[in-house]
Amino acid sequence: MAALLTDLAPRRLAQGDLRSDLDLTAPELVALLDLTIQLKRNPGRYATALKGRYLSLLFEKPSLRTRITFELAIKQLGGDAILSTGPIGEREPLRDVARNLDRWTHGIVARTFSQQTVEELAQWSSVPVINALSDRFHPCQALADMVTLKERFGAFRGLKLAFIGDGNNVAHSLMLQLSRLGADFAIATPQGHEPEPGIVAQARSFAWETGAKFEVCRDPYEAVRGAHAVYTDVWASMGQEAEAEQRKANFAGYQVSENVMAAAREDAIFMHCLPAKRGQEVTDAVMEFPRSVVFDQAENRLHAQKALLLMLLP
């Protein structure tokens, strides 16, 4: 496999896992995005690169895009995947789960409630562990989003993305990757729903290094001013269903509507990680907006994850 990747991905990921966006260095992130675009343009080029490789998919949460794109990614590269659903580490310790799976498969993809589950799997596994979503990060989604932005705008420096809504796992991953790439980031969120201070501090540090602007505010219209991309997510994530009604009240005024889009740049695109609750965080008209790229993002999950597997699996 290494010979195949010489021109596109000269390095393997040094960390060996993707527990969070922080496991990627800036050069690795750029290389991964470049490889993703090449894979998308030449889908058959690496059709046997991971022949004989197998992935363990551990999914505590329901999934459409993540499950199908990871299964397709490994299969389109010549390998295969085994799916296990339900709580991870409930019947036996996580350290035992990890050390069983690394005897059978070449990588572990975990979609969990707790970031600690991902960390512990990586601690005990001798094969790569990939965070396919946790309560703190969603790096695979953000990778697909970076590819979507690169396809649309070409470069990241001078680009601005505005995130409207909950300071959640998706917002965390977006701010870390965008600031590392030199793009401006603004988030508008109601009081009590801000992103984690430690992650904000890390993103600000990256932004300082790259010369990017970074803003946390309350007013959606302030956040979208000058934005090339407007992004939102559901107000209540999986596991927060009991808070749904209260969150609906808290986020009143944070819906991405036609008026919000009109306050951004004239060529601004609309982004959403899906699934979307049309009529809540976003209007149906914006979802069907001519410059809505939500399904481009979903498609790019497949290509970005193929690149990630090629750069991680032994």
Instruction: Give catalytic residue positions.
Output: 111, 138, 141, 233, 273, 301
**Distances in whole angstroms, Cα of residue 109 to Cα of each of 42, 52, 125, 131:** 25, 17, 12, 6
* Terminal CA-CA length for the chain: 9
DSSP code at position 22:
G
SS3 97: helix
Instruction: Count the helix, strand and coil residues of the chain and give each as a percent rounded to the nearest 5.
Output: 45, 15, 40
Q: In angstroms, rounded to a whole number, what is the distance separating the alpha carbons of residues 268 and 142?
A: 18
195 DSSP 8-state letter: P
Q: How many CB atoms lie within 10 A of CB 126?
A: 11
Q: What DSSP designation does 278 have?
A: B
In one letter, which amino acid is 179? S
Q: How far apart are CA 305 and CA 73, in angstroms?
A: 6
Nearest alpha-carbon partner for 176 in 161, 165, 193: 161
Residues ≥6 apart with Cβ < 8 Å to 59: 66, 67, 83, 84, 85, 110, 111, 132
From residue 161, give the alpha-carbon distance in Å to each of 153, 179, 250, 301.
12, 10, 23, 19
Distance (Å, rounded) from C-alpha 5 to C-alpha 39? 11
> Is the separation of the CB atoms in 23 and 47 below 8 Å?
no
